[in-house]
Amino acid sequence: MGKINCIGILTSGGDAPGMNAAIRAVTRAALYEGIKVKAIYRGYKGLISGEIKEFHTEDVSNIILRGGTILKTARCQEFVTPEGRKMAYDRLVEEEIDALVVIGGDGSLSGASVFSNEFNYPVVGLPGTIDNDLYGTDITIGYTTALNTIVDAVDKIRDTASSHDRLFIVEVMGRDAGFLALNGAIATGAEAAVIPECKYGPDQLMSSISHGLRSTKNSSIILVAESEITGGAMGVANLIKDRYPDYDVRVTILGHIQRGGSPCATDRIIASQMGIEAVRAILEGQRNVMVGIMNGEVVYVPFDRAIKGNKPVGDNMLNALAILSI
Amino acid sequence: MGKINCIGILTSGGDAPGMNAAIRAVTRAALYEGIKVKAIYRGYKGLISGEIKEFHTEDVSNIILRGGTILKTARCQEFVTPEGRKMAYDRLVEEEIDALVVIGGDGSLSGASVFSNEFNYPVVGLPGTIDNDLYGTDITIGYTTALNTIVDAVDKIRDTASSHDRLFIVEVMGRDAGFLALNGAIATGAEAAVIPECKYGPDQLMSSISHGLRSTKNSSIILVAESEITGGAMGVANLIKDRYPDYDVRVTILGHIQRGGSPCATDRIIASQMGIEAVRAILEGQRNVMVGIMNGEVVYVPFDRAIKGNKPVGDNMLNALAILSI
Amino acid sequence: MGKINCIGILTSGGDAPGMNAAIRAVTRAALYEGIKVKAIYRGYKGLISGEIKEFHTEDVSNIILRGGTILKTARCQEFVTPEGRKMAYDRLVEEEIDALVVIGGDGSLSGASVFSNEFNYPVVGLPGTIDNDLYGTDITIGYTTALNTIVDAVDKIRDTASSHDRLFIVEVMGRDAGFLALNGAIATGAEAAVIPECKYGPDQLMSSISHGLRSTKNSSIILVAESEITGGAMGVANLIKDRYPDYDVRVTILGHIQRGGSPCATDRIIASQMGIEAVRAILEGQRNVMVGIMNGEVVYVPFDRAIKGNKPVGDNMLNALAILSI
Amino acid sequence: MGKINCIGILTSGGDAPGMNAAIRAVTRAALYEGIKVKAIYRGYKGLISGEIKEFHTEDVSNIILRGGTILKTARCQEFVTPEGRKMAYDRLVEEEIDALVVIGGDGSLSGASVFSNEFNYPVVGLPGTIDNDLYGTDITIGYTTALNTIVDAVDKIRDTASSHDRLFIVEVMGRDAGFLALNGAIATGAEAAVIPECKYGPDQLMSSISHGLRSTKNSSIILVAESEITGGAMGVANLIKDRYPDYDVRVTILGHIQRGGSPCATDRIIASQMGIEAVRAILEGQRNVMVGIMNGEVVYVPFDRAIKGNKPVGDNMLNALAILSI
């Protein structure tokens, strides 16, 4: 590997709070080491089309507190094709960018993996997704803020007038992973969580929910992950209305609220640590790895494992919810 | 009218942030005047069944910051019947309660109006509803907090990745009144508001929305009042998907989040002022009026006018949104 | 007066949340009317030095939710002198700016007043100050957000362990005006407020405070306006420690936290209304007036009255605090 | 050890957000196992005086979202004496409480340690302190919420008008530990942190601070731990004013705001996990240990080590701040 004189940085896929803290940390850690930084806008799309700008320390001032990503993100069909990736590679060469930091989730790191193998080009990934569904890291950038957003929302529902037969269903994100729904339920004292990991049929689902419905004397709250498997809030609501026609069921769909907001302290700190570490990894000659945090330690996880590994929500947390909702 | 020795207080209907501040103010203002206070739980239902407790100053300590209402609310079918109201009256006599303060919205004050006429019994109402749809007061208890909740939610959506053809639809409360949707749209810089006051057909609706869609280069946000007239967020989303199939439409339904949360400063202050004023009104011999704030001044509005008067959202605000969303 | 083809806009003095909403509204309302907008950075300083940029509609996108002011503010010694003001005037002529909108507090509008008289130049002011101390408007841009910030902070103090002889003193802004301290005290259920309007000697001060100290069974909270007259939190704390050595007195100084934060719905809405109205006022030929809101109606207040008029905190609010803290 | 039929629970020392989540989890986990729960009010004081009440599942409903502790805390001089501790022991015997869960910080767990050794009585501790200064756990209950409170406050200061020579000093808690100041500085993008672990003389202090002062083009923010070693915000402010008389130095003292507020998701979740684990530990025959979380795993730490172990703020975090503030 040749000397690293310039690092490129981009964000890709769904945005997540804390991405800006990561961009800031990568930029400043690189400048601290005397390395040039080039910011690439709109993810792989902007890499191909050349939306690229050199970043100096002041370009990342006052961004640590902002949600979203100042680099924007975009879907990019071209990058899925070999021709598109070749254009991306040519652009990196043309811009004299020697290594790339990609901040994103599952799909974005998959793309990075293919690309880096194809061109033998050093890429380091940072886990940026509110879903927390990347293997090899205990926590992803954005997850904790999204969890806090869910908690704030459900707390407000707790405030409202209690009546015996009222049921609130709150749909949260997590198409393939129940971290937000399950840990959100624990943190808000909800009665149940419906998550994609538990592939219940309608009867099992009703029985798992009705535990919460029967036991409580006041209104109940159920968190449902937005997923084809769970049916989402509307699906669960219809199921309940069928079986318990007396229940007054109210639906909240949080939607993209969960992607936004000023990042919480934890997301800013881990994003800062990971950003510094990404630059260190590149200087150490690491490539095609994601920087993660496992058991409090920074680790490098090969892309393949980060993407394909199965990260369980944890039986202990499922048990915890069962114990706490008695 | 005889001397007032004891005031009863209850909250009724949908709860609203700031109701606790009103309960506290009524309680302390009465005690300050040497008048006894009896708290009635679960609205008219608890009045009939006798869920009543004398309140002292410490019973309302540390409640000003809490959402919901410590007195709970409930629907009460019995109070709709003459027999039920007779039972309520008998209970007031039995408890030696000389006047009643009712905090609630449209329906609750209608009930109070019928009751007070029927038994020639002094009732003073406080406007407690997030919908802001009571005539004779510029602002209702809970409205400003709900507006802030909407603003916080929509701000988070603003943070997320912008793309040219993405449209966010946010459903807010307001079955018959568009205050939350319209003023929420102005406060968040949204592109359009769909409110029940504007009884558009699908074509007009689309033309009013498409103004925002065409003009903006980034993602657009539309606020829709939950209402049969508007069709709610889902109705509007379907309409748009039909006509603009290329749009990526995302729906958020805020639901009961809007009823909860710690009341903002404004709701606490107006609820405190109105609560003090309700006691003053009773002592002055006022009855069957709602305490309101018009043009910064406390006013007494006969129940009939408060309920039946038409309170317009204001053409100037409709114009403001049109100007600001260019 | 000639035709208005171009409006200049600047913010001056201490910044206040909602200033960006006002900038956005002035910009869009002018563009809506076909008038050019020039943004002037760093207040009068930037006007003199020529930090000026034409604004288009997208220049004010996504700023309504941000605290501070995108135009920055600065102190400007030169503008106090006739020479400095002449340079400012020359710059306006050079830039072909036909009228000026100044957003700021007392000092900024005083400067605007002198300037407009000197050069017979049309200036319209918007009241932008968290202190709420401008005459002729019920409410200033930034005041409500600052009040909410105070309320959030004091609520957190309420949560902490209660003990019989603990006293929390919270210093808030308001050098010459007690609106934040007094209304903050009402909104948080504090025991007392020490404000510059009540020019108590130490004995009176102690007696007004000790009312709250004696009556409460738990910890007490007192809000103190930062002011030479009150002595600030430290001054009051020392006074109390002298007389009640057993009290455990804890001080919080909120400082500039009160100037920041995302503006609340109310500040965004009034700033938007006032901004639209400022453009209307200019087009109507109004000049040398501040746009205010009195009793819910937009009013134009001559600069001299806005600055020099005495705006009382209101005896009714002082009474309310006395009643509510029993 | 005999069978455990009843567990007592108390909170002690300074309160911390998340204590209520821990109380709830201990209560429900015990009830889930068929064990009785007795709640002890006002810490060791209430244990001695017998302020004790049996708790059922509904006694801990809707408390997970509240700051403070529903069990209150108090200082207790008597518990420092052998006689006082004997009274406490007698009360436990009288109340038929077989084991005790103590939630608190350094001092509270020291007391628990002495007590448990003296009477060979099983006590399990939970780390409840915003300071994060207990050895054997990566994180204490309350720390993350306090950090978020600091971040929210400093973010608001970031919003305010920037000028070249303005310096904001924010005092945060942490008498003996710099976690809040250091990690708060990293999370807010502050220029420097003054913490008790770095026992600088005035010259070193100034040189460490002036790094931030010189390098930045806008206003600077410094976080200072409230400590005799650092001199607190006022001490640092005076030092700076002496050496850099041109600087406009503004002080904010956050004080007890940091102890309050609704706990963030992380604090609720770890408190829930630790509470469940405390009951498990008692049933396993563990005693005189604190439940901690190390590297993501639940651990039992003997009291002596939890209290006396030295928990460093981490050189990597000191380095991170240096890199990020360039």
C259 carries a ligand binding annotation = yes
Q: pLDDT in tens for each of the 326 residues of chain C?
A: 578 999 999 999 999 999 999 999 999 999 999 999 999 999 999 999 999 999 999 999 999 999 999 999 988 999 999 999 999 999 999 999 999 999 999 999 999 999 999 999 999 999 999 999 999 999 999 999 999 999 999 999 998 866 657 889 999 999 889 999 999 999 999 989 999 988 777 777 777 777 666 555 567 899 999 998 889 999 999 988 888 888 889 999 999 999 999 999 999 999 999 999 999 999 999 999 999 999 888 899 999 899 887 888 888 899 999 899 88
From chain B, the residues in CB contact with C184 under 8 A are 265
Helices (H), B134-201: 143-159, 179-188
**C187/B58 touch (CB, cutoff 8 Å), yes or no:** no
Q: How many CB atoms lie within 10 A of CB D75?
A: 17
Whether A248 has a pLDDT exceeding 90, the answer reads: no
- Write down the ipTM of this complex: 0.95
Give the pLDDT band of residue D1 (cuts 50, 70, 90): low
Maximal C-alpha separation, chain C: 70
Distance in Å, alpha carbon of B156 to nearest chain A alpha carbon: 4
Task: State whether A46 and A192 are in the same domain.
Answer: no
Whether A162 has a pLDDT exceeding 70, the answer reads: no
**D323/A155 touch (CB, cutoff 8 Å), yes or no:** no
Q: Final residue of a domain: which of D238, D259, D280? A: D259
Mean pLDDT of chain B: 92
Return the residue matching tokens 């994003």: A271
Distance in Å, alpha carbon of B285 to nearest chain A alpha carbon: 32
Q: What range defines the domain where residue C252 resides?
A: 143-259
- C-beta of residue B291 within 8 angstroms of C-beta of residue B274: yes
Structure tokens at D87: 């009274």
Q: Is residue C168 part of a domain?
A: yes
Pick the more confident residue, D216 or B90. B90
Domain with C231 in it: what CATH number? 3.40.50.460
**D189/A269 touch (CB, cutoff 8 Å), yes or no:** no
State which residue of chain D sits closest to C12, comparing Cα positions: D161
- Smallest Cβ–Cβ distance between D32 and the set A62, A64, A326 belongs to A326
**A256/B157 touch (CB, cutoff 8 Å), yes or no:** yes
State which residue of chain D sits closest to C221, comparing Cα positions: D256
A26 carries a ligand binding annotation = yes
C190 carries a ligand binding annotation = yes
Residue to substitute from C41, C154, C257, interface D, most D β-carbons within 10 A: C257
Q: HEC string of chain A? A: CCCCCEEEEEECCCCCCCHHHHHHHHHHHHHHCCCEEEEECCHHHHHHHCCEEECCHHHHCCCCCCCCCCCCCCCCCHHHCHHHHHHHHHHHHHCCCCEEEEEECHHHHHHHHHHHHHHCCCEEEEEECCCCCCCCCCCCECHHHHHHHHHHHHHHHHHCCCCCCEEEEEEECCCCCCHHHHHHHHHHCCCEEECCCCCCCHHHHHHHHHHHHHHCCCCEEEEEECCCCCCHHHHHHHHHHHHCCCCEEEEEECHHHHHCCCCCHHHHHHHHHHHHHHHHHHHCCCCCEEEEEECCEEEEEEHHHHHHCCCCCCHHHHHHHHHHCC
Position A186 scores a pLDDT of 97
Q: Is residue A81 part of a domain?
A: yes
DSSP annotation of D81 reads S
Position A1 scores a pLDDT of 54
From chain A, the residues in CB contact with D65 under 8 A are 151, 155, 158, 188-189
C217 carries a ligand binding annotation = yes
From chain D, the residues in CB contact with A296 under 8 A are 138, 294-296
Whether B268 has a pLDDT exceeding 80, the answer reads: yes
Q: CB distance from A287 to chain D under 8 Å?
A: no
Task: State whether B108 and B166 are in the same domain.
Answer: no
**D65/A188 touch (CB, cutoff 8 Å), yes or no:** yes
Q: Is residue C319 part of a domain?
A: no
- Smallest Cβ–Cβ distance between D253 and the set C69, C75, C252 belongs to C252
Task: State whether B57 and B96 are in the same domain.
Answer: yes
* Tens digits of residue pLDDT in A228-246: 888 999 999 998 888 888 8
Q: Indicate the range of B160-164, C79-83, C146-150, D10-14 predicted with least confidence.
A: B160-164
Burial B1-29 (b: 16+ CB within 10 A, else e): eeebebbbbbbbbbbbbbbbbbbbbbbbb
C104 carries a ligand binding annotation = no
From chain B, the residues in CB contact with A66 under 8 A are 159
- C-beta of residue C224 within 8 angstroms of C-beta of residue C177: no
Q: CB distance from A217 to chain D under 8 Å?
A: yes
- Smallest Cβ–Cβ distance between D161 and the set C15, C156, C251 belongs to C15
**Phi, psi dihedral angles at C214 (to 5 degrees):** -70, -45
Position B243 scores a pLDDT of 85
Task: State whether A60 and A169 are in the same domain.
Answer: no
Distance in Å, alpha carbon of D32 to nearest chain A alpha carbon: 6
D18/A42 Cα distance (integer angstroms): 40
3 state DSSP class of C110: helix
Give the pLDDT band of residue A218 (cuts 50, 70, 90): low
Mean pLDDT of chain A: 92
Which chain A residues in 141-200 lie under 8 Å from chain D, judged by CB atoms? Answer: 144, 147-148, 150-151, 155, 158, 183-184, 186-189
Task: State whether C130 and C244 are in the same domain.
Answer: no
Position C259 scores a pLDDT of 95
**D72/C162 touch (CB, cutoff 8 Å), yes or no:** yes
Structure tokens at C257: 């936290």
Q: Is residue B323 part of a domain?
A: no
State the sign of the Cα–Cα–Cα–Cα dihedral D189, D190, D196, D200. positive
Position C198 scores a pLDDT of 85
Chain centroid, CA C1 distance in Å: 31
**D260/C155 touch (CB, cutoff 8 Å), yes or no:** yes
State which residue of chain D sits closest to A25, comparing Cα positions: D324
* Tens digits of residue pLDDT in A116-154: 999 999 999 999 999 999 999 999 999 999 999 999 999
Give the pLDDT band of residue D211 (cuts 50, 70, 90): low
DSSP annotation of D288 reads S
Q: Which amino acid would we find at residue A47?
A: L
Position B45 scores a pLDDT of 96
Task: State whether C275 and C135 are in the same domain.
Answer: yes
Task: State whether D134 and D148 are in the same domain.
Answer: no
Whether D239 has a pLDDT exceeding 80, the answer reads: yes
Residues of B designated as active site: 131
**Phi, psi dihedral angles at B38 (to 5 degrees):** -120, 125
Task: State whether A191 and A231 are in the same domain.
Answer: yes
**B29/C323 touch (CB, cutoff 8 Å), yes or no:** yes
Distance in Å, alpha carbon of A179 to nearest chain D alpha carbon: 12
Residue to substitute from D159, D172, D262, interface C, most C β-carbons within 10 A: D159
- C-beta of residue A170 within 8 angstroms of C-beta of residue A254: yes
Position A213 scores a pLDDT of 64
From chain A, the residues in CB contact with D323 under 8 A are 25, 28-29, 32, 276
State which residue of chain D sits closest to A160, comparing Cα positions: D62
Whether B94 has a pLDDT exceeding 80, the answer reads: yes
D321/D35 Cα distance (integer angstroms): 48
Structure tokens at C254: 């909120």
CA torsion, ordered D263, D265, D271, D276, to nearest 10 deg: 140
Whether B198 has a pLDDT exceeding 90, the answer reads: no
pLDDT average, residue stretch D154-179: 87
Domain with C106 in it: what CATH number? 3.40.50.450
Task: State whether C29 and C114 are in the same domain.
Answer: yes
Position D213 scores a pLDDT of 64
Q: Is residue C150 part of a domain?
A: yes
pLDDT average, residue stretch B310-319: 88
**A253/B257 touch (CB, cutoff 8 Å), yes or no:** no
Task: State whether C67 and C46 are in the same domain.
Answer: yes
Number of domains observed in the structure of chain A: 2
C211 carries a ligand binding annotation = no
- Smallest Cβ–Cβ distance between C155 and the set B65, B272, B320 belongs to B65
Whether A211 has a pLDDT exceeding 80, the answer reads: no
Distance in Å, alpha carbon of D78 to nearest chain A alpha carbon: 35
Task: State whether A238 and A185 are in the same domain.
Answer: yes
Task: State whether D269 and D217 are in the same domain.
Answer: no
Which chain B residues in 7-46 lie under 8 Å from chain A, judged by CB atoms? Answer: 14-15, 17
Q: Which chains touch C (3 or more CB pairs under 8 A)?
A: B, D
List C15, C98, C131, C133, catalytic entry: C131
Paired with C192 in beta bridges are: C222
Position D267 scores a pLDDT of 98
Position B213 scores a pLDDT of 64
Task: Give the C:D interface size as CB pairs under 8 Å.
Answer: 112
pLDDT average, residue stretch B187-202: 88
A6/A38 Cα distance (integer angstroms): 7
Give the pLDDT band of residue A164 (cuts 50, 70, 90): low
